[in-house]
Amino acid sequence: MLQKEVTIYDIAQKLNISSATVSRALNDDPVVSKKTRKRIFDAADEMGYRLNHFARNLRSQKTNIIGVIVPRLNSYFMSAVISGIEQVANSEGYNIIISQSAEQWDKEIANAKTMFNNRVDGLLVSLAYDTKNIAHFEPFFKRNIPVIFFDRVEEHNSSTNVLIDNKRAAYEATKHLIEEGCKRIVHITAIPKRNVYTDRLAGYKLALAEHKIKFKEEYVVISNLGQEDGAKAAEKILHMQPLPDGVFVANDNCAVGCMVALKKAGIRIPQDIAFVGFNNDPVATVVEPNLTTVNYPGYQIGAVAARNLINHLKGAPMYTTDSIILKSELIIRNSSKKSAS
């Protein structure tokens, strides 16, 4: 048995008042008398009234929905981000709808279109690996729908970026390896198309330069950064002459895959090769030796991005904030402690 939806009209009729008063009461308009207000709430409860968001949205032209577009959902980092977004959004009465670009530009374009047609109030985006430009977000900019990029960002004068200082983090990671005595440091990363990879590469180079170590193209190993790709990278490393003595990897998963493979080949970590990863994924404290890595606070990234977006939506002055840079830090564990070993 499907019961019919109760509307404010039904309540009004039952109480012999106008629907306007009901609407006002339900929206906590202080102008309604305490008494009527109570009668209305009681009746609403009793009759099982529920607000029709569509009718409201249709009028108010707002949706209370935040769109989220991410490359992939199934990484520890990204779920932490989403968790942060959800928490903040929910506490502010926003819902989130999520879609994945699967690292593909065209899927990202399609997702953006869907979000646009769903009239999200705002958008949180981490760009696909594959994305060449951000023209597909123009419709949002044109309509003043706030778009915030996080982690994988692109500069745009009408949007804010939330991320960490990847260059500095990479610089410190590399510097740490150098200070531990490494001279031949390999950097495993993805094709440097996105900021996260170019910046990390830049930080790596900077640290080398600053310590007068010559940058060698062949020490940059390009990979998809999955755990299995780490094993493949290990192959390459094992063929290098002379053997590298340090590896800085752009992500923990890959670092761990690489370490496991190298250990299987008899390499001692950190004595023969020291390792630093990126993200501070839970695996970092499982692999042996535990992985030195850059703590990248996913939950906070998500929470801050969402908070910022909602502030925009609530009409907070759009300080021309370009970027919000969260703190990251190098967490030193045993995988890099050459000196102590």
Q: By the criterion CB under 7 A, which residues form the site for DNA?
A: 5, 7-9, 16-21, 23-24, 26-27, 31-33, 35-36, 49-52, 55-56, 58-61
- Given candidates 119, 193, 236, 337, which one binds a copy of itself under the rule CB under 8 A? 119
In order of 239, 280, 295, the CA distances from 174 in angstroms are 22, 16, 15
- Is residue 41 at the binding interface for a copy of itself, with CB under 8 A as the rule? no
Q: Where are the beta strands (DSSP E) in 48-107?
A: 65-70, 95-100
Number of residues counted as binding a copy of itself (CB under 8 A): 51
- Is residue 184 at the binding interface for a copy of itself, with CB under 8 A as the rule? no
CA distance linking residue 239 with residue 58, whole number of Å: 64
Measured from the CB atom, is 38 or 327 closer to DNA?
38
- Is residue 253 at the binding interface for a copy of itself, with CB under 8 A as the rule? yes
Q: How many C-beta atoms surround the C-beta of residue 289 within 10 A?
A: 18
Measured from the CB atom, is 53 or 183 closer to DNA?
53
Q: Considering only 30-38, 93-101, 190-198, 322-330, which stretch makes contact with a copy of itself by CB under 8 A?
A: 93-101
Is the separation of the CB atoms in 253 and 283 below 8 Å? yes
Two structure tokens written together for 154: 């692109």
Is the separation of the CB atoms in 16 and 36 below 8 Å? no
- Is residue 33 at the binding interface for a copy of itself, with CB under 8 A as the rule? no
CA distance linking residue 124 with residue 127, whole number of Å: 10
- Is residue 157 at the binding interface for a copy of itself, with CB under 8 A as the rule? no
- Given candidates 97, 213, 240, 330, which one binds a copy of itself under the rule CB under 8 A? 97
- Is residue 260 at the binding interface for a copy of itself, with CB under 8 A as the rule? yes
Q: Considering only 12-20, 111-119, 147-155, 188-196, which stretch makes contact with a copy of itself by CB under 8 A?
A: 111-119
Least distance between a copy of itself and beta carbon 115 (Å): 9
Measured from the CB atom, is 6 or 240 closer to a copy of itself?
6
CA distance linking residue 181 with residue 102, whole number of Å: 39
Angle in degrees, CA 89, 91, 95, rounded to 5: 40
Q: Where are the beta strands (DSSP E) in 110-228?
A: 122-125, 147-150, 160-164, 185-189, 220-222
Query: Which x/- pattern, by CB under 8 A, does the window 2-31 give for a copy of itself?
Result: xx----------------------------
Is the separation of the CB atoms in 170 and 328 below 8 Å? no
Count of all residues that appear for the chain in the document = 341
- Is residue 142 at the binding interface for a copy of itself, with CB under 8 A as the rule? yes
In order of 208, 240, 256, 299, 307, the CA distances from 81 in angstroms are 32, 37, 22, 5, 13
Binding site for a copy of itself (CB under 8 A): 1-3, 50-55, 57-58, 63, 65, 72-76, 78-80, 82-83, 86-87, 90, 95-100, 114, 116-119, 142-144, 227, 253, 256, 260, 282-283, 285-288, 299
